[in-house]
Every structure is written in C-alpha cells, then in structure tokens.
A and B are shown apart, each in its own frame.
Chain A
Amino acid sequence: METLFTDVLCIGAGLAGERVAVEAASAGFSTICLSIVPPRRSHSSAAQGGMQAALGHCAMGEGDCPDVHFEDTVKGSDWGADQEVVRLFVERAPEAVREMAFWGIPWNRVVPGRSAYFKGGKEFEKVEATEKEGLITARSFGGTAKWRTCYTSDGTGHTLLYTMDNKVVELGVTVHDRVEAIALIHDGETCTGVVARCLKTGKLRVYLAKATLIATGGYGRIYRETTNAVINDGGGAIIALDTGVVPLGNPEAIQFHPTGIVPTNILVTEGCRGDGGTLLDVNENRFMHEYEPEKAELASRDVVSRWMTHHIRQGLGVKSPYGDHLWLDIRHLGEHHIKTKLREVEEICNNFLGVDPITQLIPVRPAQHYTMAGVRTNKDGAAYGLKGLFSAGEAACWDMHGLNRLGGNSLAETIVAGKIVGEKIVEFLHGYEVQYNTGVIRDAVIRQQERIDGLISGKDGNENVYEIRNAMQNELMDRVGIFRNGSDLQKAVDNLQEIYARAQQVGLRSNGIGVNPELTLALKIQGMVKLALCTACGALQRTESRGCHAREDYEARNDRDWWNRTLATWKEGDDLPTLNYEPATETVELPPAERGYGVCKIISCDGEIIGEE
C-alpha cells in the first residue's frame, strides 16, 4: 500500500483547508492538501457577494466596529452561536481582509464624492469621504446594521480562492488533487490520518499525519434543490460520523438561500438585494416590506426565505412548469452597476435562463444553500471525540452561525477560522509525537477494500445507487425543508430508515474499474443517508423554532428548554443517530432577546412568553 507521511493533512483545498495549510507550512510543518477536484474548482469559488469585516471605511459603514459585527452575528444566529467564538471571529476579521489584500485581492475601493444607491427600489444619495479614498469599501448584506461586506465585484470567492492557492503554490505546499478521503484512521482516541481513494486511478492510498483537518465544505447535495456544487456531498462529515465518536453539531441547521434561480437552483448573490434589488410577486408588487417593515428584502436569509414561501402559499407566486416562483428585480440598478458589480449574475441569467437582468425579471425561489451543521469542534478547531482531528470552514460547527448564518459571514469564516485553527494546529504540533499503529492502519485499509469489492461483486444486493440518492433527496426536500412539523418529520425519519436499509444493499451496474463514478457515489451513499437521518432526527427532536429551523407546531423560540446545541453521533451497527445536547454558549455577552426582524414569539429563559400568541 502506498503510504505517505506528513505533519498536517488538510482534507479539502478550498479556502478553509488552504488557509490552514498556509499557516502550517509557514511555521515549517510538512503539509499535504487532499482535494477531490483541482483546488481552484473548490466550491469556495462560487461564493459571489463578499466577506464581512468591520473596517468601517465606506460612508454607510461609518461607526462600524467588531462589537456591531458581533451583535449582528449573534442575532443572525438567533442566539444559537457560541458567543466566545463569534467574539474571536469578529475581532480577527478586519486583519484577515487586509492580509488577503496584501496577498493580492483586488478589493473594490472607496471612491470619494456623491453617489446614488438603492434601497427598497428607491434611490438615495450617499457621500464617500475624501480621506477614505482608496481604502477597502463594503456593500450592504442581509441582517447587518452597517455596510460591512467587502467584495470584488460578485466574484469574491473566486478571487479569494485564487489568491489563497497562489500562496499555497508560493509556499510549495503539496496538493494532491482528485484524491478522496474515504475513512479516518483512528483507534477510538487518536486520529492518525486517512485511507484515501485516488480519483485518477481508483487505487487506495494511506496518508499518515499528526494532525488531520476536515475542511470539505457543506453537504447541500443531500437535498434535491440546492445551490451547492455537485461535489458538496458530505465526504468529510461522513468520515467523521463513521468514527462513532465524533459528533455533528446542530445537524438540523440547514440554510435556504432566498434567491436560487428557477429551475436550475444556481445562486444569484445576496449582493443583488444588498445593492438595492427587490423581490416581486405575480402582480409585480413588492411584498417583503409588508412583512418586515424595518429590514424588508434585507432581513436575514431564514426570514426572507420563509416569507417568500409564505407568499407563494398565499397564491401570489408566479406559475411555471417547474412550480411557483417569485421575481428578483435588479433592473433599476442600471446597466453600469450590473456590468461592473454584478457580472456573474448577468452571465448566469444570460447563459442559464436566457434572461437579460438589465431589462428583465429573474425567476427565483429559496433553495438549500448552507450547512451550519458540521463536525463539532471547540474554539481551537479541535474536533470533539478524537485527538489530532480538526475541522474548519463550512465543514465545521465551530460554531459562529448557530441556527442561521448571515450572508458574507461564510467567506469570512473560511479565512478567519482557517487562520485561527491553523495557529492552534501549529501550537498543538510543537512537541507532539504520535505512534502509528500498523494493525489499526491495516484494518482500516482492509475494511475499505472489502467495501469496494462488495459493491463491485454485488454481494449485499443490487439496489441502484442513484435511485437511493434521489429518494433521500426527495424526503429531505419534501419533509425537512423551510417549514417543518412533527408528523412530516416523523414520516421522514421512518422513510429515511427504510432508505438507509436499502443503501446497505447497493450493487454496481458497471464494472467498477478505475475512477468509476458509480463506485465513487456508492462508497458514500450510506454516509449521505446517515447525514440525512441526523438532520431529520435533530429537527424532529427540536420542538421550537430558531433561525432556519421553523416548526409550524412549535412556533416560539424556546430559550428555556432549547437554548442548546444538538450533538449527533452514530454508533456502529445502529440505524439511528444518538442525540445529546450541550449549552449553545458558555459565555453570554449578549443575552437572548428579540432579533428585530422575523416573527417574534419567545419563551424566555425563565419561562416568560414574549410576543403574540
């Protein structure tokens, strides 16, 4: 068996994985990144709108500071976040933006003088200060008190990823692209690397490492309608869950983005609404300001997605062969703005819809977008349950997002958490030695080889892997979506258990030789259904509404009983996850209160009922 040794192994070479790698390599540790695609194709590249950091240079960001960013983020999370982690994050974000500028990001800059901007379809004027000319500027995003989202047109993720990968090349970090980690090597206490499958040859390979990082992004592909790339199918979360000892935090915390285009669910950025775009219904009337007088289109994503769904349910959606949708209107922003600040949006509309957003409306509706759920870590990024295992970025539940993430905080998290977790891994490695147990390694490899052989020979059955994936995706979409209720969730759990049983009987139809794509999916289908069950079970148990988790049968946020975080582990041989709970936050800087947007029904910590009944 080909075996490679390294100090640090980053599984995933998107922004979080590469930022950790940069930190480790800069400190002199040998570092290998594994990526299932060439690193610059990672899904980080698709983040369009920007990265939040409280620089406060632009006129509409005046007076901004980490404290305001902190408050926005905790409110956005509906008090589900770990406040110590949020504080760490907001304090380091401005430095992270500047460091990326130093490495080459062409951030958009302050242009002094008068300029127009749009809010709620109306035009206003702002004056940018002469003394701020040329400093990094920002745009407005949902759920924020200030304009705080730093950007490069609407290709912010793209420029960040390319610049980060440039840094990786400069430092000579080894990247093995088209390699997929399919199991962690561990003895129940310490993680010492992975068994991986090469996606150029199909062969297995062992990577042994003192520190292993999971930075594989989110897993939106367990849902049928998602903005996520096809590679976001949960690889990292699955191998963590498979250990039986590493928990997923808040698996029920799944975000829907308000503006996926219909029918392909490709994202158009929140920057459209941040820059003044509006949402219209079948009569081409605005409606968000009626539900949210204060924030209107720029309430947090969970809130806007819910009102859109509600409005469609009122019969005010636009009929289409792909179901009802609403309109996004950016026409009034004008050709110049769209062609400089919203270029990807223009291309996506032209290429995939045949719509010209300068003169026409864009068909949109909410689609799955982000997993706040992820590998539960402490504030240093160390995973619960296994020494030597870390996680960062969307793959992790660090947990600065709680039950709802703000737009612009995910790119920021990848860079800031990548930096902080990288520093902590470097600290961890100083003086740390590990013993590689050949028996444990051999057993891990044999187990994976047997899985592959079994799928090829069809010894467990001949279930079709694609049919199972579709059944799982439909179940989550139809019963574990934007609005949830007890009876649908119970049905989803029951059906997913049946689907899980079928997933254990998959057999390939093709020969499985080499980089066989059917085998690649078959190797993770059981894990994907396990993730789906964690989401459904977590949602069923959480009898309250908080952030993205909206229970029609428990409409209040219940701080008395549910101000906590779900921890889901999966014990070997079980057919359901084990759910435990921990307090959402040990540190309380900002006690639970109203968010200022969204429906306000709260059962407070001491049982008082706030808001309408």
Chain B
Amino acid sequence: MARKLIFNIFRYNPQDPHSVPHTDTFDLEETESMTLFIALTQLREEKDSSLQFDFCCRAGICGACAMMINGRPGLACHTLIKNLPDEITLMPLPIFKLIGDLSVDTGTWFRAMHEKVESWVHTSKSFDPQAEEERMDNALAEEIYELERCIECGCCVAGCGTANMRQDFVGAVAMNRIARFIMDPRDQRTEKEYFEVIGTDEGIFGCMGLLGCEDVCPKHLPLQDQLGILRRKMGWSAVKQLFRRS
C-alpha cells in the first residue's frame, strides 16, 4: 500500500502585506518513482496554486531546484521520495535572498561571485579566426572539465559553516572556479593576481575546513582537494609576499 506523505513547507510571500512566515502542512499519496519534483508539482496543481518553488531542467543538470530537504541542502528534482521518511520538511536555502516560499534569488549572488573572482579566461592574446586552435593535452582538458561540471546550485554555500556566519565569504563554489582557471594554461593570471582575489578571509583563509560543501555537492565535485591545493598555494604565496615586503 502506498505511503501517505506529510509535507511541512515553509511559506512566505514578501510581496503580500498580509503574508507572514509560517509552515503549511500538506498530505500526499506516494506514487512509484516519485521525486520531489513530481510531488511539489502535484501539490501546486492540486492543492495550492500559489506555492512558489523553482524547477527548470528537472534532470539534475541546471541547478535551479536546490532547497533544504529535511534539514540538508539538495537538488529536489533528483531526490527520490522512496529515500525519505513519511514526513518531509522543505525550507528555502539560507544565505540567498528569499523570493517566496521555497524560491530564492541565486542569480544575483552568483553574478556577484563571477564578477568578484573574474570568472573568465584572462589573456592578452586576441582571437584569430583563420588560425588553428591552440593544442591542449586531452588529459588536461578532462581535468578542467571535472571542475567545470559545477552547476552553481548553491548547495555548497548553504551547507557552509563560514558562509552562514559571514555574508562576504565566497564559498567553495568560487574557490572551485578559481582552481579551474589556475589549472587552465589559457588563463595568464599570475599567482599574485589569484592571491589578490582569494588570499583573504573572504576567500581561502576564511574556510574552517568543516567540508559540508563536499558532503552536499550533488555533482560530487572534489571540493575538499581543491580547497587543500588552493590553501597550500595561497599560503606559500602569502609567505613569499611577506618576505618581499620586509
């Protein structure tokens, strides 16, 4: 017999002067292969058509649907209901500005992060449409792709102890992005330039090493390794700069 599920869902519509933050409870019967995408869509279409949440690709690729699922950040679209208890509590991601109910503004946060870490290839060369492409070793291309797989869902930020305490912390997602460019020979930035971006308490030295980021990453990116590598690199860079100053 199908389980009867109980959903406790955070509700607040900042655009409605009569709305106050509260929790609504809904019942729903479990169906085969049900995901949180299917369940939430059903709740909206059958029980409360004002319920706000975000889905886009519904295939674990776009990163739109991160939320707190029984206290843990995760992608709702690939969360199978059969892996959850009968009672499911859904909250919006912390840190990001609330739009309404389970929907948060990740767009503004990530654009600011991209600007801050200058998330693009820095080069003094200009593109020659007639020329053959520069060569790259395939193994290196695959290593870069490994870090490029980040979908910027925000789970690592929501699961980060430092980010929850200080708003200006860039998070593992930004560190991963920097690590990706450091690895890429097309980016001509020097170690010193990278240090200026993340060699601070807002960056790599703010990380407390709790590694919640890696635990909750839905793409299983090697965030712990990248943090370690960056910390060593930036540590050396800091030491070198100290000596240079004296």
Q: Is B132's CB within 8 Å of the partner chain A?
A: yes
Q: Is A141's CB within 8 Å of the partner chain B?
A: no
Q: Is A178's CB within 8 Å of the partner chain B?
A: yes
A170 proximity list for chain B (CB < 8 A): 118, 120
Given contact pairs A155-B149, A169-B111, A515 touches B136 in the complex (Cβ within 8 A)? no
Q: Give the docked Cα–Cα distance between A42 and B152 (Å).
A: 13
Are B105's CB and A200's CB within 8 A? Answer: yes
Chain B stretch 129-178: residues in CB contact (< 8 A) with chain A: 129, 131-138, 140-142, 144-145, 148-149, 151-152
Chain B stretch 44-96: residues in CB contact (< 8 A) with chain A: 44-45, 48-52, 54-64, 78, 80
Are A159's CB and B145's CB within 8 A? Answer: yes
Q: Give the docked Cα–Cα distance between A352 and B148 (Å).
A: 23
What is the CB-to-nearest-CB distance from B74 to chain A, in angstroms, rounded to a whole number?
A: 11
Q: Give the docked Cα–Cα distance between A169 and B55 (Å).
A: 24
Question: Contact check: which of A45, A103, A343, A514 meets B62 at CB < 8 Å?
Answer: A45
Q: Is B186's CB within 8 Å of the partner chain A?
A: yes
B152 proximity list for chain A (CB < 8 A): 40
Q: Which residue of B lies closest to A469 (CB)?
A: B45
Are A152's CB and B60's CB within 8 A? Answer: no
Q: Is B32's CB within 8 Å of the partner chain A?
A: yes
B100 proximity list for chain A (CB < 8 A): 514-515
Per the CB 8 Å criterion, the residue count for chain A at the interface is: 73
A175 proximity list for chain B (CB < 8 A): 107, 111
Per the CB 8 Å criterion, the residue count for chain B at the interface is: 65
What is the CB-to-nearest-CB distance from B157 to chain A, in angstroms, rounded to a whole number?
A: 14
Are A510's CB and B50's CB within 8 A? Answer: yes
Chain A stretch 101-138: residues in CB contact (< 8 A) with chain B: 101-104, 106-111, 133-137
Question: Contact check: which of B51, B80, B137, B187 meets A109 at CB < 8 Å?
Answer: B137
A510 proximity list for chain B (CB < 8 A): 48-50
Q: Give the docked Cα–Cα distance between A344 and B140 (Å).
A: 19
Question: Contact check: which of B48, B57, B133, B187 meets A135 at CB < 8 Å?
Answer: B133
Q: Which residue of B lies closest to A92 (CB)?
A: B129
Given contact pairs A155-B145, A267-B59, A513 touches B13 in the complex (Cβ within 8 A)? yes
Are A513's CB and B16's CB within 8 A? Answer: yes
Q: Which residue of B lies closest to A518 (CB)?
A: B49
Q: Is B99's CB within 8 Å of the partner chain A?
A: yes
A580 proximity list for chain B (CB < 8 A): none
Are A159's CB and B148's CB within 8 A? Answer: yes
Are B135's CB and A102's CB within 8 A? Answer: no
Chain A stretch 501-548: residues in CB contact (< 8 A) with chain B: 508-511, 513-518
Given contact pairs A40-B63, A166-B114, A509-B49, A106 touches B148 in the complex (Cβ within 8 A)? yes
Are B16's CB and A514's CB within 8 A? Answer: yes
Are A153's CB and B56's CB within 8 A? Answer: no
Given contact pairs A99-B129, A104-B184, A351 touches B60 in the complex (Cβ within 8 A)? yes
Are A162's CB and B148's CB within 8 A? Answer: yes
Given contact pairs A98-B129, A200-B99, A513-B13, A352 touches B142 in the complex (Cβ within 8 A)? no
Q: Is A486's CB within 8 Å of the partner chain B?
A: no
Q: Give the docked Cα–Cα distance between A133 and B134 (Å).
A: 11
Are B110's CB and A40's CB within 8 A? Answer: yes
Q: Which residue of A lies closest to B138 (CB)?
A: A109
A37 proximity list for chain B (CB < 8 A): 54, 56, 62, 64, 107
Question: Contact check: which of B33, B52, B120, B135 meets A104 at CB < 8 Å?
Answer: B120
* Contact string against B for A residues 19-50, beta-carbon threshold 8 Å, 1 for contact and 0 otherwise: 00000000000000000011111110110000
Question: Contact check: which of B13, B32, B56, B108 meets A231 at CB < 8 Å?
Answer: B56
Are A517's CB and B50's CB within 8 A? Answer: yes
* Contact string against A for B residues 176-201, beta-carbon threshold 8 Å, 1 for contact and 0 otherwise: 00000000101100000000000000
A466 proximity list for chain B (CB < 8 A): 45, 49
Are B119's CB and A169's CB within 8 A? Answer: yes
* Contact string against A for B residues 15-34, beta-carbon threshold 8 Å, 1 for contact and 0 otherwise: 11000000000000000110
Q: Which residue of A lies closest to B187 (CB)?
A: A104
Q: Which residue of B lies closest to A321 (CB)?
A: B32
Question: Contact check: which of A46, A95, A106 meets B142 at CB < 8 Å?
Answer: A106
Are A266's CB and B58's CB within 8 A? Answer: yes
What is the CB-to-nearest-CB distance from A378 to chain B, in angstroms, rounded to a whole number?
A: 24
What is the CB-to-nearest-CB distance from A149 to chain B, in angstroms, rounded to a whole number?
A: 16
A167 proximity list for chain B (CB < 8 A): 120
Q: Give the docked Cα–Cα distance between A97 and B134 (Å).
A: 12
Q: Is A1's CB within 8 Å of the partner chain B?
A: no
What is the CB-to-nearest-CB distance from A69 to chain B, in angstroms, rounded to a whole number?
A: 17
Are B141's CB and A230's CB within 8 A? Answer: no
B186 proximity list for chain A (CB < 8 A): 102, 104
Are A135's CB and B52's CB within 8 A? Answer: no
Q: Is A264's CB within 8 Å of the partner chain B?
A: yes
Are A166's CB and B15's CB within 8 A? Answer: no
Chain A stretch 153-197: residues in CB contact (< 8 A) with chain B: 153, 155, 158-159, 162, 165-167, 169-170, 175, 177-178
Question: Contact check: which of A102, A106, A351, A354 meets B141 at CB < 8 Å?
Answer: A106
B135 proximity list for chain A (CB < 8 A): 109, 133-135
B149 proximity list for chain A (CB < 8 A): 155, 158, 343
What is the CB-to-nearest-CB distance from B38 to chain A, in angstroms, rounded to a whole number?
A: 8
B49 proximity list for chain A (CB < 8 A): 466, 508-510, 516-518
Question: Contact check: which of A159, A165, A511, A515 meets B103 at CB < 8 Å?
Answer: A515
Question: Contact check: which of A178, A348, A518 meets B107 at CB < 8 Å?
Answer: A178
Q: Is B14's CB within 8 Å of the partner chain A?
A: yes
What is the CB-to-nearest-CB distance from B81 to chain A, in angstroms, rounded to a whole number?
A: 12
Question: Contact check: which of B99, B118, B133, B187 meets A136 at CB < 8 Å?
Answer: B133
Q: Which residue of B lies closest to A111 (CB)?
A: B138
What is the CB-to-nearest-CB distance from B8 to chain A, in angstroms, rounded to a whole number?
A: 20
Q: A residues bordering B, Cβ < 8 Å?
A: 37-43, 45-46, 95, 97-99, 101-104, 106-111, 133-137, 152-153, 155, 158-159, 162, 165-167, 169-170, 175, 177-178, 199-202, 229-231, 263-264, 266-267, 321, 340, 343-344, 347-348, 351-352, 354, 466, 508-511, 513-518
Give the 7 A-B CB pairs with smallest separation, nearest first. Answer: A514-B15, A134-B135, A38-B107, A510-B50, A177-B107, A518-B49, A166-B120
Query: With contacts A41-B63, A267-B59, A515-B100 known, what are 17 further pairs, Cβ within 8 A?
Result: A101-B133, A103-B120, A103-B121, A109-B138, A109-B141, A111-B138, A133-B135, A153-B142, A170-B118, A229-B56, A229-B62, A266-B58, A266-B59, A510-B49, A513-B15, A515-B103, A517-B52
What are 14 residue pairs bridging A and B, where the CB atoms are less than 8 Å apart in the complex?
A: A37-B54, A41-B56, A46-B61, A95-B129, A102-B125, A104-B184, A166-B114, A166-B119, A200-B105, A263-B33, A354-B80, A514-B100, A516-B52, A517-B44
